[in-house]
Amino acid sequence: MSSVASESLASAERQGALTPQTEKEQSELAEKSLGMQSTIPATSTTSPEPGEDEMDYPSGLRLWLLTIALFLSVFLVALDNTVIATAIPKITDQFNSLNDVGWYGSAYMLTTAATQLLFGKLYTFMPVKWVFVSAIVVFEIGSAICGAAPNSISLIIGRAIAGLGSAGIFSGAMIIIANTVPLRKRPIYSGIIGATFGIANVAGPLMGGVFTDKITWRWCFLINLPPGAITLLFLIFFFKMPGKAQVKKEMSFKERLMQFDPIGTAIFIPAIVCLLLALQWGGTQYAWKDGRIIALFILFGFLISVFIAVQVRQGDQATIPVRIFMQRSVWSGTWYALSIGVGLVIFSFYLPIYFQTVHNVSALKSGISTLPLILAVVASSILAGALVTRLGYYAPFMIVSTVVSTVGAGLISTLGVSSGANKWIPYQIIHGFGLGLGTQQPMLAVQVVLDMADVPTGLSIIMFSQSIRGALFVSVGQNVFNNKLVTGLAKYVPDLDPNVVLSAGATAVRSNVPADKLAGVLLAYSDALDSAFYVAVAMSALSIIGCLAIEWKSVKAKKVQTDTAS
């Protein structure tokens, strides 16, 4: 008998409205109560009665080993996004595959974004432990294929397989935290996971450079195998779902299959593939007005429209149930997660170009020059996690995050040719500190407002918005940058052929441009970079919509779970 049904029965008996005298009558009444409850959508409520705290959470050594396993898995996924950057030149040398460079990143991104929501369903209706273990195994297989790849095609296939596994790892880690740590303690764990991404952003390029220069680029992928094996062992032997979280409704194979929304999934995945291919190819391999790019965008629009219609019709069996997405904290948290992180996407991509081109520093030094941004994100993520754990409320941190990160992004957009370390260091710290305060809060919000059975879907929606923003806004930033660069070159060096600059690449500008034209070219570069930075300023400011709309609730409030899945 569920806790809600028990409470309904007890309340009725106290009021004298229902007074069953036999076990049979009590059983019949309980069944009626359960039947009535099953018609109510799963929601979470706060109550002084025992709820979440009754769950049998792990503690001691078991909790520590699980924590290590989760952070290792998240670190590997985050590292895989950055470690390849410094290895690409050597890879292209060995495989003679300069034209495939874009696919080394986009193959990974395609499978990650396209299957993120599917993993939400898997975690809802399948055993969390084994879905997570399977995701790690798939990621490890992809990494092994990449490390042993005999040619470029094999490497791309390996990246796609690794991306498929990565889609389930981060969301799975957050779901396991939700099932191993009480809600009031989760903010600090979420903060540390956010910091783990920041650390990987720093360590990735450095480790990639060391492996590529000192050993072989293949270790950029093979390094994932030993920690992955340790993670699997810890999870298999030390993780089990706590008491109440193991309750689930028995379903036939057909019923379980329908819960995965096969029609919606079959429409959604090609829709996302069309969008990402258009963004990957547009402005680089093909012009934006090319028929192939236009066709991809049209097909995406058609498929996503059909997908939305299917979701509305499918109800709770939808990949994105309308009742979950339209929950105030879910849709506002999704927008916030999408918009607040654009600054990190833009600055991670274009600040190194600023340092290497405008200030003429090496690739290694440009990476070091962006450390203030990353370290500030790491520090404030941990700080925010600790403070939310202590204070309970996460919404205030989202508001402060929006204000501070927007100010920081605005300051970064003022950097010019003559700007020194006294500007670009504190400006990055301000933006990074603000960003770290808010990035993990939407994932906490969905855990507070949704029932445990809906948490996997809610987390997957938030994480999908984070996955897709990279593809969207790198493309937006690139187009803003390219257009402004052409305009700037016409303004500052009108007698110089723009193709000389555009074809040279960022690091070769100084050696390809005549000395008397260099100052004007650098001004055009600086202006173009500032324009790309404006995208980050605008999106940081627009995140205010999400943080003002989100509900003010506390992670300290006890939750009575109406239904949970294993």
- Cα 107 → chain centroid: 16
CB atoms within 10 A of CB 378: 22
Spell out where 44-155 has E strands.
44-46
Polymer length of the chain: 566
Q: Reply yes or no on whether the pLDDT at 562 is more than 60.
A: no
Tell me, what's the pLDDT at 34?
38
What tens digit of pLDDT does each residue of 132-153 get?
999 999 999 999 999 999 998 9
What tens digit of pLDDT does each residue of 233-255 get?
888 888 776 654 444 556 666 66
Is residue 217 within 8 Å of residue 537, measured between CB atoms?
A: no
CA-CA distances (angstroms) from residue 248 to 133, 256, 274, 280, 562? 20, 12, 36, 42, 11
Distance separating alpha carbons of residues 46 and 373, to the nearest angstrom: 38
The average pLDDT across 101-123 equals: 81
What tens digit of pLDDT does each residue of 433-450 get?
999 999 889 988 998 898
Query: Which single residue is written with the structure tokens 């299959």?
Result: 257
The DSSP element (H or E) to which 561 belongs, if any, is strand 559-561
Tell me, what's the pLDDT at 188?
82
Q: DSSP string of 95-126?
A: HT-GGGHHHHHHHHHHHHHHHHHHHHHHHHHS
Task: Grade residue 199 by pLDDT with cuts at 50, 70 and 90.
Answer: confident
CA-CA distances (angstroms) from residue 318 to 258, 308, 312, 314, 452? 9, 10, 8, 5, 17
Lowest-confidence range among 71-75, 167-171, 279-283? 279-283
Tell me, what's the pLDDT at 431?
96
Tell me, what's the pLDDT at 20?
41
The average pLDDT across 34-55 equals: 42
End-to-end CA distance of the chain: 17
- Cα 387 → chain centroid: 22
Residue 210's contacts (CB-CB under 8 Å, 6 or more residues apart) are none
Mean pLDDT, the chain, whole residue set? 80
CA nearest 328: which of 448, 438, 460, 439?
448
- Return phi, psi of residue 311, to 5°: -65, -40
Most confident of 201-205, 361-365, 535-539, 560-564: 535-539
Tell me, what's the pLDDT at 102?
66
Residue 234's contacts (CB-CB under 8 Å, 6 or more residues apart) are 65, 66, 68, 69
The residue that leads in pLDDT, 309 or 43, is: 309
Task: Grade residue 555 by pLDDT with cuts at 50, 70 and 90.
Answer: confident
Is residue 97 within 8 Å of residue 91, measured between CB atoms?
A: yes
Is residue 394 within 8 Å of residue 447, measured between CB atoms?
A: no
Q: Reply yes or no on whether the pLDDT at 473 is more than 80.
A: yes
Distance separating alpha carbons of residues 17 and 12, to the nearest angstrom: 5
The residue that leads in pLDDT, 427 or 565, is: 427
Distance separating alpha carbons of residues 305 and 309, to the nearest angstrom: 6
Is residue 471 within 8 Å of residue 273, measured between CB atoms?
A: no
CA nearest 339: which of 472, 432, 456?
472
Most confident of 18-27, 157-166, 207-216, 255-264: 157-166
> Residue 393: beta bridge partners?
554
Tell me, what's the pLDDT at 295?
95
Q: Domains of the chain, with CATH numbers?
A: 3-40 (no CATH), 60-242+256-261 (1.20.1250.20), 320-557 (1.20.1250.20)
CA nearest 118: which of 461, 566, 468?
461
Distance separating alpha carbons of residues 416 and 413, to the nearest angstrom: 8
Q: Reply yes or no on whether the pLDDT at 349 is more than 90.
A: no
Lowest-confidence range among 367-371, 518-522, 530-534? 367-371
Q: Reply yes or no on whether the pLDDT at 19 is more than 50.
A: no
What tens digit of pLDDT does each residue of 375-414 get?
899 899 889 988 998 888 999 999 999 999 999 999 999 9
- Cα 123 → chain centroid: 16
Lowest-confidence range among 30-34, 168-172, 243-247, 355-359? 30-34
Lowest-confidence range among 28-42, 271-285, 302-316, 499-513? 28-42
Q: Reply yes or no on whether the pLDDT at 457 is more than 90.
A: no
Q: DSSP string of 330-374?
A: HHHHHHHHHHHTHHHHHHHHHHHHIIIIIS---HHHHHHHTHHHH
Q: Reply yes or no on whether the pLDDT at 535 is more than 70.
A: yes
* Side chain identity at residue 355, one-letter code: F
Tell me, what's the pLDDT at 32?
41
Tell me, what's the pLDDT at 505?
65
